[in-house]
Chain A
Amino acid sequence: MTRVSRLLCVLAAGLMQVTAAVAQAPVLVLAQGEDPVHQEAVRAFSARLQDIAPQLTVAVREGGEVERDELDTAALVVTLGSEAATNAARAGSTTPILHALLSRNALEGLERGAGSGPFTAIVLDQPAARQVALLRMALPAHTRIATLYGTASTAHARALTAAASTEGLSVRTALVRSEDELYPGLQKALQAPAVLVSLPDTTVFNRYTVQNILMTAYRLRSPVLGHSAAYVRAGAVLGLYTSATQAGHEAAGLAARLLAGDPMPPPAAPRLFEVGVNTTVARALGLQLQPAETLTRALMQTEDGQR
């Protein structure tokens, strides 16, 4: 009896919650600290959600640990950033969670609490096919691609190799397990000048190694395709990335659909992206590049056509 009655109670409670969510639509946004990237993402998310579904109420909670009860009261939890994602996953709430603004590696590393509800994610990692397409479009003369990968980014490296192969590009990769292997890896990968594609793996590419990698690549007359805007600013010729604003907008769209009753899709790569070009470095390497906006537009059109 007790089992049946408890199940009933739970079901009743779940029904009541869904009803309440539809009625009050509390969307809880967990943001990560006060850094400008995440702030920007929060702003973009909130603004876009208000545009799409003005009836929904959004509560923003910035930083720190969260309690399960807090999450349970919401209709949907949206995490912006890997720290917020980690906190939300650990809470073990039954409320559906949408993770955004985090890498695929971070998503895969999340520890989920017992009894966690369903989740989905929009990761920051650009698909390998998009990267190869951009290279073909922007640097059609370059037929060689090189990359360094760590143990966490093996899959991405493999995907890149596969995508490049289909496009007829040769790929040279090197495994880097520690920073000491970085320079030998670079030398191995860039034996002949090639386009170095950076991967979102912080064991290889991080704020302390990026300068040396860019410098080495430059010396070996190899352009770099960076995976964030910061790489373009630091000296990568090309960048392919999703900005915080774009991530916020995309997350808002998905959140609205989910609250509207759409089924929960599997984690996916971002659909919105932009291309960055460092004309100074390009000129130094003697490369003629199209403007970033042109490249972005062309790449989008290509992808839309494929869809």
Chain B
Amino acid sequence: MIGRWGIRARVTFVAFVPMLVLATLMTATHTGLRLADLDEALRARAHAHARQLAIASEFPLFSGDRLRLQQMSEALLQEDDIAAVAIVGAEGAILASAGQLAPSMPAPPVVAPDRAQTVAGERWLRIVEPIRASELPIEDAFEHPSSATTRHRTPGLVLVDVSLERLRARHAELLRIAAGWMLVVALGSLLLARRMSRSVSGPIRAVADTVQRIGRGELDQRVAPSGGGSLRALAEGVNEMAARLADARALMSRRIDEATLALRARTEEAERASLAKSRFLAAASHDLRQPLHALGLFLSQLAQQDLDARSRQITERLVASTEAMEGLLDSLLDISRLDAGVLAPSPVAFDLRGKLEHMLARHAADAAEHGLALRLHCPPCWALTDPQLFERIVDNLLGNAVRYTPSGTVLLACRRRGQNWRVEVRDSGIGIHEDAQQIIFHEFVQLENAERARDKGMGLGLAIVRRLVDLLGLELSLRSAPGRGSVFAIELQAAAQPKQVEIDQEARAMGNFDGLQVLAVDDDPLALDAMSRLLTTWGCDVHPAQDAEEAMGWLRKGVVPDILVTDLRLRGERDGLALMDEARAVPGLSRMPAILVSGDTAPETLERVHAAGAHVLHKPARPARLRALIHRLVGVS
């Protein structure tokens, strides 16, 4: 047990126990001697009293003076502790007695003993003292020497009973005092021992405390050197250790700072590179859009002309090629916009099954072309998220599934999972190796398209999917293995079916724009011409202008446009936004809707447009989209 004690307990033990043992021994010895002395003193006193009484009793006994004997007995009874006195004659007759003889004691002897006897009882001490005839030395020749011894006789005896009560009480008191002193000595020595142990263990505890603080990281802690020998060596060792620890930590922290700096520089460099990439993408897509926009508008017009069969076939192929190109550009634009963070999702409850059916229909032709079975497993259900963005996610996943499945089935399934709907896109395609399952979400990664065939897309689909999923706060999971197909799954929050079904905007777009006053502005004459012609075919009255000044000119001429459709970038100092503000400053036009058509996908530009509350169409704007937007804005306003 002692092996687990601390220094303090050990020192206390070493200092306390010997003192306690010594105190116990001394107190026991002293008390024992004192008790024996008390016993001895009481006996001696009792014997002295008895002897004295015996001597004094001789003559009264000789002369038969019982009164005197009685007086002497009673006088002796006055002495302390004397409980009873009796004087017994030669024949055992009690001649005088005082006090009550102890009943527990044996009866007085009939024949007086030769010498004094002591009988010890539980509570009494009895002294039996013979009364001797005092002998007078007679030196004469009358007495025959042989007669001298035979003449000796004891005429009686004295009995003295001594009560031991007072002695016992004194014993008890002595023991109490001894116990009290023992207690005092024990307490005193304990205090002393603790004090000593403190003085011994104090420096060691100080070292231990300091070591603990150093352990908590307070490396500036030092032990104040005290004492000598091992204690000093220990303190110095701890101080040295702390100093070295502090040095090591300083060095490490310096290196971390340096590494952090380098890392930050590298990160900044990477961010700059990423920004440059975005700018490049924006610029590239803008420059591509401009002609494509015009091309689209012209082709749209062309398709509305009476054409022979051959021309119509060519026109249709032109339209298809243009749409493919637009799709590619849209993807680039999506990435730019998502990176810019300008898309704000607006979650609504929508008919999930309807949405999925719609998407399935869109990819049905492609699937049929690849000889794939495209199926939908979905109960009627409603979900809560941004339906447009969700459509883009599933659209991308479906497109990929159809594209990378050489044969078999593509299944679009929807299952309930707790509070959510789990939408899965399953294919029996080539599958994705586990190592590649992360990198496929990076831009421009196409696992099976080393030759970068354009009909297989640009590799932006899953990058867009990842950004959209993050934006909507959804969970996307992928389960796939090479040759076993892939399962992409998204979980959506389930929603109750709203009471009123929204009117399909597409249906409303089928309405007529006859007589709608449109102020169309574009600095590209070709695009302005195409836009004007398209709007005219929809029955609008178009007032074309190539810059802000010309547009304001129309307004000054008294034209009151129902809507302003303008390019964002214009010649001159003012751009589309400035024009919009200026036009709205004209009385009566303050609530005039405006559509900004822009090939600029730079994030900062988009943010500026959104901030101004304008509606944006990206070039190349699809005629259907333009038409729907005009319809919505005019209808709303």
Contact = CB atoms under 8 A, between A and B. Distances in A.
B is bound to A? yes
Contacts of A234: 136, 138
A268 interface: no
B134 A211 contact: yes
B62 A202 contact: no
Contacts of B34: none
A159 interface: no
Interface in A183-234: 183, 200, 202, 206-212, 215-216, 227-231, 234
B151 A81 contact: no
**Residue in B135, B138, B142 whose Cβ sees the most chain A Cβ within 10 Å:** B142
A247 B124 CA distance: 59
Given A183-B62, A202-B147, A209 B133 contact: yes
Contacts of A202: 142-144, 147, 151
A66 interface: no
Contacts of B136: 207-208, 210-211, 230, 234
B141 interface: yes
A35 B139 CA distance: 8
B66 to A, nearest CB: 13
Interface string B108-151: 00000000000000000000000001111111111111011001
Interface string A157-183: 000000000000000000000010011
A208 B142 contact: no
A216 B145 CA distance: 26
A212 B141 contact: no
Contacts of B139: 35-37, 230
**Residue in A35, A41, A182, A183 whose Cβ sees the most chain B Cβ within 10 Å:** A183
Interface stretch (A12-20, A101-109, A289-297): A101-109
B148 A82 contact: no
B63 interface: yes
A32 B137 CA distance: 18
A228 B140 contact: yes
A202 B140 CA distance: 12
B62 to A, nearest CB: 4
Contact of A216 (B63, B134, B138, B143): B63
A230 B133 contact: no
Contact of B138 (A81, A101, A183, A228): A228
A200 B142 CA distance: 6
B140 A212 contact: no
Contacts of A216: 62-63
A215 B59 contact: yes
B141 A102 contact: yes
Given A207-B135, A228-B138, A212 B62 contact: yes
A48 interface: no
A209 B140 CA distance: 15
Given A83-B145, A202-B147, A210 B63 contact: no
A200 B139 CA distance: 13
Given A82-B144, A179-B153, A215-B59, A210 B64 contact: no
B59 A124 contact: no
Nearest to A199: B142
A156 interface: no
B484 interface: no
Contact of B151 (A35, A41, A102, A206): A206
Contacts of A212: 58-59, 62-63, 133
B277 interface: no
B608 interface: no
**Residue in A35, A101, A212, A216 whose Cβ sees the most chain B Cβ within 10 Å:** A212
Interface string B329-364: 000000000000000000000000000000000000
B152 interface: yes
A66 B144 CA distance: 18
B133 A241 contact: no
A37 B141 contact: yes
Contacts of A106: 144
Nearest to B148: A207
A103 B138 contact: no
Contacts of A38: 141
Nearest to B140: A228
B143 A208 contact: no
Contact of A227 (B133, B135, B142): B142
A113 interface: no
Contact of A229 (B140, B145, B147): B140
Contacts of A36: 139
A41 B63 CA distance: 38
Given A207-B151, A208-B152, A208-B153, A228 B62 contact: no
A234 to B, nearest CB: 5
A103 B142 contact: yes
A299 B64 CA distance: 40
Interface string B285-303: 0000000000000000000
Nearest to A228: B140
B151 A208 contact: yes
Contact of B137 (A179, A227, A230, A241): A230
A88 interface: no
Contact of B141 (A103, A179, A231): A103
Contacts of A267: none
A141 to B, nearest CB: 27
A210 B143 CA distance: 12
**Residue in A33, A209, A230, A244 whose Cβ sees the most chain B Cβ within 10 Å:** A230
Nearest to A179: B153
Interface in B136-184: 136-145, 147-148, 151-153
A206 B147 contact: yes
A101 B141 contact: yes
A181 to B, nearest CB: 12
Contacts of A103: 141-142
Contacts of B138: 206-207, 210, 228, 230-231, 234
Interface in A49-88: 81-83
Nearest 4 A/B pairs, CB to CB:
A228-B140, A230-B138, A208-B133, A212-B62
Given A183-B62, A228-B138, A231-B138, 19 more contacts: A41-B141, A83-B144, A103-B141, A106-B144, A183-B63, A202-B142, A206-B143, A206-B148, A207-B135, A207-B136, A208-B133, A208-B134, A208-B135, A212-B59, A212-B62, A212-B133, A216-B62, A229-B140, A234-B138
18 contacts: A32-B145, A82-B144, A102-B141, A124-B142, A183-B64, A202-B151, A206-B147, A207-B136, A208-B133, A210-B136, A212-B58, A212-B133, A229-B140, A230-B136, A230-B137, A230-B139, A234-B138, A244-B141
Interface of A: 32-33, 35-38, 41, 81-83, 101-103, 106, 124, 179, 182-183, 200, 202, 206-212, 215-216, 227-231, 234, 241, 244, 247
Interface of B: 58-59, 62-64, 133-145, 147-148, 151-153
